[in-house]
């Protein structure tokens, strides 16, 4: 069937599409690289020209500053509600625009399915329509299909640079033209890029400690950041083989590992031979690698992050960053005190799922210290999480913790054993102070080594 006639009937300008947005609307604005470009500019102009107020936008993993953020007196017109924040979105909090929506990322599809009030308007970028009338979400399947099922109006912005991210039996990676209300053909700007960031000696030291725990045939999940990137680089250079991928976020490190011949997925009991992910962000090489690649599997996040799916795969290795940890083993990965950093994401899902896996391990890794603006050094291992800090992984769930000074397995340890283990991988300059704090809290035995 030729869907071109329907396509032409639904084709409108970005400016005309922007006029669909009315005061007090809830507007979904894509996810990751799905954030619209031409529509973003048209919507910003529409808000200013017509003094539109009370708008509530949803989105997340923003890789460039949206035009709607640049509106003069933006907080008087709109607020941004993020499912997972980048640095750009953190800045929006300070600007009075942005707010975080706390949720386990894996719950987003159900959240939309159960949403009592429909999304008023959904606007997002897609790949060009295929011969069957489908627009691919690109590397952003995530929760998009379920969000669209609850939208009153759907506007897709077609971009020829958007890679086609192939899906599978679970579905959720594309939307049919029959469900789309309007189509905007964009100016086809390039993909939004996310640099992996340089690694340093500390990252590499932590990576070495983790990689020696990974067996051949393991299935990998990597978070974003210097340390997971360092782990990926080290794996690419290692003798490991027959690795698999099942992850929330697909990052550049996976491309490097795959091109080094380390990934074939033949040991995966779920989706064998395929690299499964909920969304991807990275350099152009990542988008080029994903495009129409049958080895890559774009799936909804309630599938990729389902602890039952994760636990069904043997030797599942989950590797994620954190902001800090306390002597009880509580992991903070979302905020530093009340200063928001990121979001819950799927870290807890993978911590839980990896432990359900036969031979599985979850690693929380970070540098032992950080320096403040004045150059003063602070320990990331603290007596207790700072007031206002969000606990992402509870003490009962924490498995391996790794710094440049070593790695410890906290699973099943008593409070004093945990304190002792964590002190042993703290920066030497802070160990004595941490011991004293542990004594005050009643989680340090006098006979313990100092």
User: Does some domain include residue 326?
Assistant: yes
Confidence of residue 450 (pLDDT cuts 50, 70, 90): low
Q: Residue 449 has what pLDDT?
A: 60
Q: Are residues 370 and 226 in the same domain?
A: yes
Tell me, yes or no, whether 167 and 213 share the same domain: no
Number of domains forming the structure of the chain? 2
Could you write out the DSSP letters of every residue in 10-76?
HB--HHHHHTT--TT-EEE--SGGGS-SHHHHHHHHHHHHHT---EEEEE----S--GGGGSTTGGG
pLDDT tens per residue across span 200-232: 999 999 999 999 999 999 999 998 777 888 898
Averaged pLDDT, 150-157: 98
Is 30 inside a domain boundary? yes
pLDDT at 448: 59
Q: Are residues 314 and 427 in the same domain?
A: yes
Q: Is residue 446 part of a domain?
A: no
Structural domain includes residue 1: no
Domain boundary among 185, 216, 231: 185
Q: Mean pLDDT throughout 150-171?
A: 97
**What CA–CA distances, in Å, run from 41 to 20, 35, 36?**
14, 11, 9
Give buried/exposed letters for 175-207 (b at 16+ CB in 10 A, else e).
Answer: bebeebbbbbbbeeeebbebebeebeebbbbbb
Among residues 156, 185, 214, the one where a domain terminates is 185
Return the axis-axis angle of helices 252-259 and 226-237, rounded to nearest 10°.
0
In a domain, 305, yes or no: yes
Q: Give the model confidence (pLDDT) of 252-281 as tens digits.
A: 999 999 999 999 999 999 999 999 999 999
- 213 and 149 within one domain: no
Q: Is residue 445 part of a domain?
A: no
221 in the same domain as 156? no
Active site residue 417: no
Instruction: State the pLDDT at residue 202.
Output: 94
pLDDT of 17 higher than 80: yes
Average pLDDT, the chain: 96
170 and 243 share a domain?
A: no
At 73-119, the pLDDT tens digits run 999 999 999 999 999 999 999 999 999 999 999 999 999 999 999 99
- Output DSSP code: residue 95: T
User: In this structure, is residue 260 part of a structural domain?
Assistant: yes
The 10s digit of each residue's pLDDT in 23-82 is: 999 999 999 999 999 999 999 999 999 999 999 999 999 999 999 999 999 999 999 999
pLDDT band of residue 2 (cuts 50, 70, 90) is confident
Question: Do residues 182 and 18 make contact, with C-beta atoms less than 8 angstroms apart?
Answer: no
* pLDDT value of position 121: 98
pLDDT at res. 293: 98
| Same domain (yes/no): 247, 370 | yes
Q: Are residues 398 and 343 in the same domain?
A: yes
Residues 333 and 393 in one domain: yes
Checking if the pLDDT of 157 tops 70, the result is yes
Q: What are phi and psi of 92, to 5 degrees?
A: -65, -25
Q: At 383, which CATH number? A: 3.40.1080.20
Residue 107 in any domain: the answer is yes
Per-residue pLDDT, averaged over 351-380, amounts to 97
Kindly state whether residues 110 and 217 are assigned to the same domain: no
381-382 and 324-326 as β-strands: parallel, antiparallel, unpaired?
A: parallel
Show the domain range for 61. Answer: 9-185
Rg (C-alpha) for the chain, rounded Å, is 23
CATH of the domain at 78: 3.40.1080.10
Q: Among residues 188, 192, 200, 121, which one has the least CA distance to residue 159?
A: 188
Same domain for 155 and 242, yes or no, is no
Q: Quick one: 258 and 322 in the same domain?
A: yes
The size of the chain, in residues, is 450
Whole-number pLDDT of residue 447: 65
Give the CB-side neighbour count of residue 28, counting CA atoms within 13 A.
29
> What is the DSSP-derived secondary structure letter of residue 300?
B
Long-range pairs for 331-335: beta carbons < 8 A, 24 or more residues apart = 331/364, 331/391, 331/392, 331/393, 331/398, 331/401, 332/385, 332/386, 332/389, 332/390, 332/391, 332/392, 333/364, 333/390, 333/392, 333/393, 334/390, 334/392, 335/388, 335/389, 335/390
Which candidate in 67, 248, 334, 420 is catalytic? Answer: 248
């Amino acid at each position: 069937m030729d869907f071109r006639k329907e396509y032409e009937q639904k084709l409108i300008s970005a400016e005309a599409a922007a006029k669909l947005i009315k005061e007090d609307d809830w507007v979904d604005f894509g996810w990751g690289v799905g954030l619209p470009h031409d529509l973003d500019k048209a919507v910003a102009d529409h808000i200013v020209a017509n003094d539109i107020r009370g708008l509530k936008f949803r989105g997340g993993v923003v890789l460039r500053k949206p035009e709607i953020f640049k509106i003069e007196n933006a907080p008087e017109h709109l607020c941004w509600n993020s499912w997972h924040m980048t640095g750009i979105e953190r800045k929006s909090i300070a600007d009075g625009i942005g707010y975080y929506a706390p949720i386990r990322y894996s719950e987003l599809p159900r959240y939309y399915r159960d949403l009592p009030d429909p999304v008023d308007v959904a606007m997002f970028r897609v790949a060009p329509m295929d011969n069957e009338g489908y627009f691919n979400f690109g590397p952003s399947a995530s929760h998009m299909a379920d969000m669209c099922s609850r939208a009153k109006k759907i506007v897709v912005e077609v971009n020829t640079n958007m890679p086609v991210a192939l899906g599978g039996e679970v579905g959720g990676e594309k939307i049919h033209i029959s469900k789309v209300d309007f189509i905007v053909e964009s100016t086809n700007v390039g993909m939004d890029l996310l640099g992996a960031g340089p690694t340093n000696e500390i990252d590499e030291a932590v990576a070495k400690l983790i990689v020696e725990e990974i067996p051949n045939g393991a299935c990998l999940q990597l978070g974003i950041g210097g340390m997971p990137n360092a782990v990926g680089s080290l794996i690419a250079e290692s003798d490991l083989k027959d690795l698999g991928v099942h992850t929330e976020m697909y990052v550049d490190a996976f491309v490097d590992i795959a091109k080094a011949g380390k990934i074939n997925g033949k040991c995966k009991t779920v989706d064998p031979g395929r690299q499964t992910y909920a969304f991807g962000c990275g350099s152009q090489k990542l988008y080029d690698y994903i495009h129409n690649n049958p080895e890559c599997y774009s799936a909804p996040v309630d599938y990729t992050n389902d602890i039952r799916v994760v636990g069904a795969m043997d030797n599942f290795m989950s590797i994620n960053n954190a902001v800090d940890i306390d002597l009880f083993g509580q992991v903070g990965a979302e905020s530093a005190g009340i200063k928001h950093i990121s979001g819950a994401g799927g870290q807890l899902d993978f911590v839980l799922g990896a432990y359900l896996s036969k031979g599985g391990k979850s690693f929380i890794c970070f540098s032992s210290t950080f320096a403040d603006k004045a150059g003063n050094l602070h320990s990331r291992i603290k007596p207790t999480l700072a007031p206002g800090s969000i606990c992402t992984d509870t003490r009962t769930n924490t498995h391996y913790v790794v710094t440049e000074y070593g790695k410890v397995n906290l699973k099943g340890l008593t409070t004093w054993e945990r304190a002792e283990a964590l002190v042993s991988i703290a920066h030497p300059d802070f160990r004595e102070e941490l011991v004293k704090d542990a004594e005050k809290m009643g989680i340090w035995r006098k006979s313990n080594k100092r």
